[in-house]
């Protein structure tokens, strides 16, 4: 359970005024967060069956996790929905201070993650664009940033794990304006009841449920729990690049089950696999890294510590704009049809 504010243990955090104080999660809370990452709309009874507590106790724990800010349960869009199916990891060589370059890097719309790092490269970034032509154009602009003396690129072929974007296969479906309104509400509150969703969009509860299930099953939106590192004390973060023998996708699938691994992609370029890991302390981070190194098919490991994250775009909080008819419809979906009004 979450430690109370009075008599809290070291490392715990609660919000108090403008201060943040650490929260400590026990094994049951950790198991609930793991289950909610897989299915943010799992019923309290299903969650209770998984951890061996009563439905009432689990409901109280989940609500406390959300109330304290330890997690947010939100709908995250498939990257293809917003026309950003191509993913690139960029490692920058920089001459001189990196601050000015980081500021301009973060201002690029295609950049979804940017960080100053400790390692062979002082700055790394993730970009998402529509296609390889857009990737080439974006790289041309990034290489021209002040201080950049070189950039090495990893182009993802498949993303296996990402807290900020659905990685499930995107099935072709028709998405109409009512669907987009439901998606926006799920982006704000992934566990909103079907009754509440129905009231928000003017549907019956049964119709709202049918649409939400259809959107989730089609891979358009995935409801998941996103832990707040600064609240739960998971402030140790690093990225890693791997070279391996054999089937990189199979190796990455195995690594995805390791505690602390938050991002994984396979592809080509400098590495066969890139990933990210978070942990509440340095020892836990080392244990995750040692488990990765222990895979007999991993032949090379390179790591970089995230000293300062200057941008981390979360499609659970952004996504489809709420204003305007065309914006309400949302962008055209690769693999999905957009229904016209009338």
Q: Tens of pLDDT along 199-242?
A: 999 999 999 999 999 999 988 888 988 877 666 556 688 999 99
Farthest-apart Cα atoms in the chain, separation: 61
Residue 310: pLDDT above 50? yes
Q: Which residue has the higher pLDDT, 271 or 236?
A: 271
- For residue 328, the model assigns a pLDDT of 40
Q: Helix (H, G, I), strand (E, B), or coil: what is residue 281?
A: coil
Residue 136: pLDDT above 80? yes
Tens digit of each residue's pLDDT (9 = 90 or more) over 59-89: 999 999 999 888 889 998 877 777 778 999 9
- For residue 69, the model assigns a pLDDT of 85
- For residue 91, the model assigns a pLDDT of 95
Q: How far apart are CA 90 and CA 110, in angstroms?
A: 12
Q: What is the mean pLDDT of residues 20-30?
A: 74
The hierarchical CATH code for the domain 80-164+229-310 is: 3.30.70.3460
The region of weakest confidence among 7-16, 17-26, 52-61 is 7-16
Q: How far apart are CA 181 and CA 19, in angstroms?
A: 35
Q: Which residue has the higher pLDDT, 341 or 77?
A: 77
Mean pLDDT of the chain: 82
Please check whether residue 244 is in contact with residue 296, taking contact to mean a CB–CB distance below 8 angstroms: no
- For residue 24, the model assigns a pLDDT of 73
Q: What is the mean pLDDT of residues 43-60?
A: 95
- For residue 21, the model assigns a pLDDT of 56
Query: What phi and psi values does residue 156 have, to the nearest 5 degrees?
Result: -75, 140
- For residue 338, the model assigns a pLDDT of 42
> pLDDT band at 145, cuts 50/70/90?
very high
Q: Which residue has the higher pLDDT, 204 or 258?
A: 204
Q: Which residue has the higher pLDDT, 27 or 93?
A: 93
Q: What is the mean pLDDT of residues 41-48?
A: 95
> pLDDT band at 288, cuts 50/70/90?
very high
Q: What is the mean pLDDT of residues 90-107?
A: 94
> What percentage of the chain has pLDDT greater than the value 70?
80
> pLDDT band at 305, cuts 50/70/90?
very high
The region of weakest confidence among 22-26, 165-169, 254-258 is 165-169
- For residue 239, the model assigns a pLDDT of 94
Produce one character per residue of 210-219: b if its CB has 16 or more CB atoms within 10 Å, e if not.
ebbebbbebb
Which residues belong to CATH 3.30.70.3460 in the chain? 80-164+229-310
What class, spelled out in words, does domain 15-69 have in CATH?
mainly alpha
Q: How many Å separate Cα 66 from the centre of its chain?
A: 17
Which residues belong to CATH 1.10.10.10 in the chain? 15-69
- For residue 117, the model assigns a pLDDT of 95
Name which of 234, 221, 225, 222 is nearest 260 in CA terms.
234
Helices (H), 108-148: 132-143
- For residue 230, the model assigns a pLDDT of 61
Q: What is the mean pLDDT of residues 87-103?
A: 94
Please check whether residue 260 is in contact with residue 275, taking contact to mean a CB–CB distance below 8 angstroms: no
């Amino acid at each position: 359970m979450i430690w109370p504010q009075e008599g809290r243990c070291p490392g715990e955090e609660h919000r108090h005024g403008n201060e943040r104080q650490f929260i400590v999660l026990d094994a049951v809370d950790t198991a609930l967060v793991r289950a909610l990452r897989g299915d943010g709309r799992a019923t309290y009874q299903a969650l209770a069956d998984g951890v061996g507590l009563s439905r009432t106790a689990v409901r109280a724990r989940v609500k406390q996790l959300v109330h304290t800010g330890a997690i947010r349960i939100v709908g995250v869009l498939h990257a293809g929905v917003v026309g950003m199916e191509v993913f690139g990891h960029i490692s920058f060589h920089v001459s001189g201070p990196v601050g000015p370059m980081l500021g301009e890097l973060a201002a690029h719309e295609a950049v979804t993650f940017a960080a100053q790092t400790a390692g062979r490269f002082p700055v790394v970034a993730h970009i998402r664009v529509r296609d390889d032509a857009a990737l080439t154009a974006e790289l041309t602009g990034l290489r021209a940033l002040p201080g950049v003396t070189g950039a090495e690129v990893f182009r993802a072929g498949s993303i296996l794990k990402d807290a900020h974007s659905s990685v499930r296969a995107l099935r072709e479906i028709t998405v109409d304006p009512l669907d987009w309104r439901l998606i926006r509400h799920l982006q704000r509150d992934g566990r909103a009841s079907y009754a509440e969703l129905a009231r928000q969009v003017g549907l019956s509860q049964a119709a709202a449920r049918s649409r939400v299930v259809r959107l989730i099953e089609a891979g358009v939106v995935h409801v998941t729990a996103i832990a707040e590192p600064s609240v739960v004390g998971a402030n140790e973060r690093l990225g890693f690049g791997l070279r391996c023998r054999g089937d990189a996708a199979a190796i990455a699938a195995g690594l995805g089950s390791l505690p602390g691994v938050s991002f994984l992609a396979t592809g080509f370029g400098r590495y066969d696999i890139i990933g990210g890991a978070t942990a509440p302390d340095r020892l836990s981070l080392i244990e995750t890294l040692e488990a990765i190194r222990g895979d007999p098919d991993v032949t090379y490991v390179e790591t970089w510590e995230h000293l300062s994250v200057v941008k981390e775009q979360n499609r659970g909080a952004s996504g489809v704009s709420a204003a305007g008819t065309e914006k309400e419809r949302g962008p055209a979906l690769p693999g999905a049809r957009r229904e016209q009004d009338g």
